[in-house]
Amino acid sequence: MDYVSFGKSNLKVSRLCLGAMGFGAKSWRDWVLEADEAAPVIDRALSHGINFFDTCDFYSAGESERILGQTVLKHHPRDSVVIATKAGNPMAGHPNGRSFSRKHLFKAIDDSLLRLGTDHVDLFQTHIWHPDTDIDELVGAMADIVRAGKALYVGAATMPAWAFTLCRETARRRNLPAFLSMQCELNPAHRECERELLPYARHEGLATIPFSPMGRGFLSADRRDPGQATPRTKSDDYTTKHYYRAADFAVQQVLAEIAAERRATASQIALAWTLQRPGVTAPIFGATSQAQVDEAVAAMDITLSEDEIARIDETYAPRPLSGGGH
C-alpha cells in the first residue's frame, strides 16, 4: 500500500479510502452489509494496509459509524487508522436536526463520537451543501470542534467552489482552522468537479478524496443488461437519475474494452483513471465483499497510457450546471 500526505498536513493516509456507506442496516438500504457481514470486508481492507475509512452519521442512521467503531477502533490502535465522518443531512424530524448550525454540528460530532466509541475523529466534514448556510457560523463552529479536540482536521463534501473558497478565506481572515479537504464526486462519467473545485484544491495544496470512482457501480457493467442488475442498481434512484445518459453508457463501453485488453475489470479501469487524475489524494471506494477490496487494491498497479486516457475522455459529455447531482 502507498501512503500520501493528506493535503498540506503531516497526516499520512493510504492511497485508497474505504467508504462505509455500504455498512449498516438493511432496513435503511437493502444492499448494505450488517455488522457480521461487514467485518470480513473491513478486515480485508486493513490487511492490505488501508488505514483510511470514511463514514457519515446519515448512513443507516448512524449504524455505519457503530460498525466501524466495533470493527476497527475496538481492535486496532487508535493512532494506526484515520477515521473521517460527516454531518449535515437530516438526523431528526425537527428543524434543528440537520444543516450546519452550531447547535446541530455540536450535537452531531458528540453523537458520532459516541457511536464510534472514540474521543475524536481525524476528519470531520460537512455533508450535502445547504444554500442558506451562514458561512461565518459554519466556519466558527467547525473551528471550535477542532479546538475542543473532537476533530483533528475539518473538510467539506459536495460544496460549490464559491462556498468552499469563501469558507477557507473566512477561516484565514479570522485565524481559524480551515477546511483541509474536498470530497466530491469524480469518475470517468462524472467530472463536474473539474470545472472549479479540483483546480482550486490543487492550487491550495488541499486533499481531494473523490467518492464514487466507479459511478456507484454503474461503470462496473452494462446496466442495460438485466443480468447485470444488482440490488443497488435496482434501488438506487440517484444512479438512475444521473448516470443513465447515452454518453455514460459510452464511457462504460470504453472502460470495458480497455479492461478486456488488459485482462482487468471495468471497475479497475475506472478506479485507475480516478487515481491518475491530477491532485487526487485517495479515492473513496465502496465494497460489499472481500473480493471487491482485492480488486480495488489491484487497480493501484494499473497505469493507464495517454492513449487509453484519451479514449476514455473522448466519450465524456458534460452535464448542465444544475444537472450534476451532488
Domain membership flag for residue 204: yes
pLDDT tens digits for range 95-151 = 999 999 999 999 999 999 999 999 999 999 999 999 999 999 999 999 999 999 999
Domain membership flag for residue 56: yes
pLDDT value of position 139? 98
> Which residues does the annotation mark as catalytic?
59
Domain membership flag for residue 252: no
pLDDT tens digits for range 266-318 = 999 999 999 999 999 999 999 999 999 999 999 999 999 999 999 999 999 99
Report the b/e string of 208-237 with b at 16+ CB within 10 A: bbbbbbbbbbbbbbebeeeeeeeebbeebe
Mean pLDDT (the chain, rounded):
96
User: Can you tell me the distance from the alpha carbon of 326 to that of 158, in angstroms, rounded to the nearest whole number?
Assistant: 6
Domain membership flag for residue 153: yes
- How many other β-carbons are positioned within 10 Å of the β-carbon of residue 25? 19
CATH code where residue 106 lies: 3.20.20.100
Q: In the structure grid, which three cell numbers stand for residue 228, read together?
A: 447485470
Q: Count structural domains, the chain.
A: 1
Sign of the torsion formed by the C-alpha atoms of 301, 303, 308 and 313:
positive
Closest by alpha carbon to 205, among 3, 2, 5?
Answer: 5
Print the domain residue range for 79. Answer: 3-219+267-303
Domain membership flag for residue 158: yes
Domain membership flag for residue 26: yes
Domain membership flag for residue 92: yes
Closest by alpha carbon to 77, among 118, 20, 18?
Answer: 118
pLDDT value of position 182? 98
Domain membership flag for residue 275: yes
